[in-house]
Structure 1
């Protein structure tokens, strides 16, 4: 299981290491919403939340599914703007890039975590197709009334939601992120200079290995492979390969590979990762209780959010009985919890139980 990026024919100068203030704000919102993924940031998160205006704190909950799972591709809009666009130097510049996404791009990216829409294949225009809209709202309803309300507003009036999101991000910047960014940007700029120097002196393979041992370059095949508990593929045509450092992101090693967008590797600048972390294959051998690869992939989904059986069926392309059997095995092992919302049963990974099995496995799930 891995995500691959086809870089055949990519010129060296089209590999760019550059910080992104908007991506770091997305990571900050994720860390505030999902502190269990980032135990090392609990002090910072507590400091921020205790000083937050209650009204802004409430607004954070309106669409937190855009950053709670990991964070939406909307926080890297440069990847969706044609022509190999780079992140802006300031948050204001990046928000201007967000405005350059078409309504179709914006809606497609925003619905990713509310409706589990296809990610790595050409998207269909949900704004123009009544049946796709009906299906999107049905899937959103399974996630809860909050997601349904957001999806309805988004599909009815995309410009209104775009305005709301921009104002929300500006308010977060004023409330806490400007101060955080002023402290982090120097570290991120220094890391970008270091990786760029490695690129020039020792080549792409050395630079990628310095980011994580989970990232491997096959120079003969012209392909980068990222060892993750998911499948995906991206192809660079006329754009660039962006390497975006984050100070707040560990243990997440994110790969943006949305169809039609330029690929982005969003990597933590520091981590307690050992020099040779165990591969997914090694983890599979160790974790005999989770020996089936499909169940490992299910755990990856359920570590990030709650899902219904029907959503997991769509994501994994399996039948409902097959998914139910795998969920039954995980539940019997005490690795997932369930709760009912109306006629829907929502499943979620018990992260604490998995952590007791081994930090290497948990880190791979969150990579």
Structure 2
């Protein structure tokens, strides 16, 4: 399984490397929402969250579906070289039309298929797409449902609210973060750009990650990103500036984010450093249960989805194209191995992978399901 970016006929100069303050803010917000994904940043997340005002924390919680389980397209650059400042990138986001913005904001990704509202129809004008968007939001909980309802009713007001939230995050913690990490990210981008110029695309991709490769055959030329999901996009699309943008991130590991939605410039956000994971003790019997639980391809794919966000059994069944009883059997195996947490939200029962448990099984597996 992988995400492919078709670059057939694309000039090499259209492949660029550059840091993005908006993408890095999105990565930092994700760390604050899911510190278990980032054991090397646990101290930063704890300290930062403790220093934030309650009102800002509350507003971040209301909008966290934009960055928690999957990164919304509005948090990634959509032009060849990202601007140098957060304000400039936010200005570019403001330039998106309401239908594009709302569809991207309400995107929910589980199995790797882009579940955009109503299969491409805008929930602002299509009742079926609107109902589908609200149903998915409802499964995420009352806060996300309330947010989605307000966004669909009054997109201009909610868009301004989101921009103000990002600006307040910048004032509260991100400006200091960006000042600290930008030199490292800019240096990495320059290094990859020079490697691309001197040795070619294959070597530059290998330096990004061993899981990013160049494939060439009779079908054309593609950048292949190894992930536990399927996806495909093209570097040349009507109405989109041709090319691919690679964005280094100091907050990214173990994630490798690929923007591959139709109508959006392909973007790969990659980590520039890998923290060391600490192993923890466990009984031999428990370890055996966990390894056996992972000995099935469907359960591995379920882990991929459940590592990102909580999902109901019916959501997983619909997303993976299998029956709800079959999903329940796989979830039972994972739960008995101590790898799942379960919470009830009204009529919905949501399951989520315990990433801290998975981290103790090994960094290779953790990285593969969170990539």
Common topology (TM > 0.5): yes
Instruction: Tell me which residue corresponds to 1:276.
Output: none
Matching of residues 148-167 of structure 1 within 5 Å: 148-167=145-164
Which residue does 2:279 correspond to in 1? Answer: none
Tell me which of 131, 149, 165 is aligned to 1:134.
131
Structure 1 runs, 4 residues or longer, greater than 4 Å off: 114-118
Query: Could you tell me which residue of structure 2 aligns to residue 195 of structure 1?
Result: 192
Q: 1:269 aligns with which of 265, 269, 272?
A: 272
SS at structure 1 position matched to 2:350? strand
Q: Within 2, Cα distance between the matches of 1:202 and 1:114?
A: 36
Q: Cα offset for 1:145? A: 0.5
CA RMSD of aligned residues (A): 2.3
Give the C-alpha shift of residue 327 in structure 1.
Answer: 2.3
Is residue 255 of structure 2 the alignment partner of residue 252 of structure 1? yes
Aligned pairs, number? 351
CA contact (8 A) 1:256 1:263 kept: yes
After TM superposition, the score normalised by the length of structure 1 is 0.89
Report the equivalent of 2:295: 291
1:91 corresponds to: 86
Distance 1:340 1:72 in 2: 26
User: Residue 51 of structure 1 corresponds to which residue in structure 2?
Assistant: 51
Work out whether residues 65 and 114 of structure 1, in 8 Å CA contact, stay in contact via their aligned partners in 2. no
- CA separation of 1:154 and 1:163: change in aligned 2, threshold 3 A: same
Q: Which moved more, 1:246-255 or 1:105-114?
A: 105-114
Correspondence 1:79-228 to 2 at 5 A: 79=78, 84-113=79-108, 119=114, 123-220=120-217, 221-228=220-227
2-structure distance, mates of 1:215, 1:136:
32
Q: Which residue in the other structure is 2:246 paired with?
A: 243
Cross-structure match for 1:353: 357
Alpha-carbon contact 1:120-1:257 (below 8 Å) kept? no
Q: Deviations over 1:183-213 (max 9, x none)?
A: 1111111111100000100001000001111
Q: Distance in 2 between matches of 1:41 and 1:200?
A: 33
How many Å separate the matches in 2 of 1:115 and 1:129? 23
How far residue 311 of structure 1 moved from its aligned partner, in angstroms, is: 1.6
Task: Please report how far the alpha carbon of residue 322 of structure 1 lies from its aligned counterpart in structure 2 after TM superposition.
Answer: 3.3
The alpha-carbon deviation at position 166 of structure 1 amounts to 0.4
Corresponding residue for residue 315 of structure 1: 319
SS in 1 for 2:307: helix
Deviations 1:200-252 (A, max 9, x none): 00001000001111111113440111111111111121411000001111111
1:365 corresponds to: 369
Counterparts of 1:117 and 1:351 in 2: how far apart (Å)? 19
After superposition, the Cα gap between the structure-2 partners of 1:23 and 1:4, relative to the gap in structure 1 and judged at 3 Å, is same
Alpha-carbon distance between aligned partners in 2 of 1:151 and 1:195, rounded to the nearest angstrom: 39
| TM-superposed deviation, 1:180 | 0.9
The question of whether the paired residues in 1 share the 8 Å contact of 2:113 and 2:231 is answered with no
| Stretch deviating more after TM superposition (183-192 or 57-66) | 57-66
1:233 corresponds in structure 2 to: 232
CA distance in 1, matches of 2:113, 2:132: 13
Which one is further off, 162-171 or 320-329? Answer: 320-329
- Whether contact under 8 Å (2:108, 2:115) holds in the other structure is no
Please state whether the residue corresponding to 1:63 is helix, strand or coil: helix
Q: Match of 1:330?
A: 334
Q: List gaps (5 residues or longer) in structure 2.
A: 277-289
Do the aligned partners of 2:112 and 2:230 also contact (CA within 8 Å) in 1? no
Specify whether residues 307 and 244 from structure 1 end up closer, same or farther in structure 2 by C-alpha distance, changes over 3 A only: same
Name the TM-score, length of structure 2 as normaliser: 0.88
C-alpha deviation, 1:135, in angstroms: 2.2
**How far 1:9 sits from its partner (Å)?**
0.7
